[in-house]
Amino acid sequence: MRSPACRGRASPTAFRRTVGQPPLAYLAGWRMALAADRLRRTSQSLAAIAAALGSASEAAFRTQFRRRMGCTPGRYRRRG
């Protein structure tokens, strides 16, 4: 039997069943976790973090971060 990763269209369903959320939602959460870590541990600019994590723009990143983390990236960094 082929693994779920090799089944093509069944893969997102298998991923959701295994991980508990759709692949893109998982990826977005992972990116925000990486961003949160960088905000806490580095002095990188928000623009640099957004670009490194594949965001279309700093503004889009700021919006995504606020939705996922419950506060703006600047506030998150200050709370450290």
Confidence of residue 12 (pLDDT cuts 50, 70, 90): confident
Model confidence, pTM: 0.80
Q: Is 33 within 8 Å of 69 (Cβ atoms)?
A: no
- The confidence score (pLDDT) of residue 10 equals 63
Q: What is the mean pLDDT of residues 53-80?
A: 95
- pLDDT digits 0-9 by tens, 26-59: 999 999 999 999 999 999 999 999 999 999 999 9
- The confidence score (pLDDT) of residue 27 equals 93
